[in-house]
């Protein structure tokens, strides 16, 4: 009985841990799209890329959008879906943040 309760408690806590890691991209490196695909994706969006790096297991693009605003975009490495997008320094001098929902 005690073993069953321990297993049930562990399984109940598992979804909470997954929700905390929602911003991070946990994908095996073998399933990642190449950096060239990231650059092509950015180009298709009209973005100018300054740097592509890896942050929290996601691709991160630093650059400018089609309107010339500084952006920081986090992409899922396997699907190249936008996980998070920040517009830095809007017209009022404040940072704006936008997140894409699935």
Percent of the chain with pLDDT over 70: 64
Question: What is the average pLDDT across 72-89?
Answer: 94
- The model's pLDDT over 43-80, given as tens digits with 9 standing for 90+, comes to 999 999 999 999 999 999 999 999 999 999 999 999 99
Q: Which residue has the higher pLDDT, 15 or 29?
A: 29
Strand 70-75: give its sheet, edge to edge. Answer: 48-55, 58-64, 70-75, 82-88, 96-98
- pLDDT in the model for residue 22: 55
For domain 23-98, say whether CATH 3.10.450 is its number.
Answer: yes
**CA–CA separation, 92 and 79 (whole Å):** 34
Please state, rounded to an integer, the average pLDDT across all residues of the chain.
79
- Can you give the residue ranges of every domain in the chain? 23-98
Radius of gyration of the chain (CA): 18
Please determine, for residue 84, whether its predicted confidence score (pLDDT) is greater than 70.
Answer: yes
């Amino acid at each position: 009985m005690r073993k069953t309760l321990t297993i049930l408690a562990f399984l109940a806590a598992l979804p909470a841990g997954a929700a905390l890691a929602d911003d991070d991209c946990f994908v095996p490196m073998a399933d990642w799209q190449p950096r060239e695909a990231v650059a092509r994706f950015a180009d298709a969006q009209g973005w100018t890329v300054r740097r592509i790096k890896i942050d929290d297991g996601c691709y991160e693009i630093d650059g400018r959008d089609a309107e010339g605003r500084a952006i920081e975009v986090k992409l899922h490495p396997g699907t190249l879906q936008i996980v998070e997008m920040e517009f830095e320094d809007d017209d009022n001098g404040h940072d704006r943040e936008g997140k894409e929902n699935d």
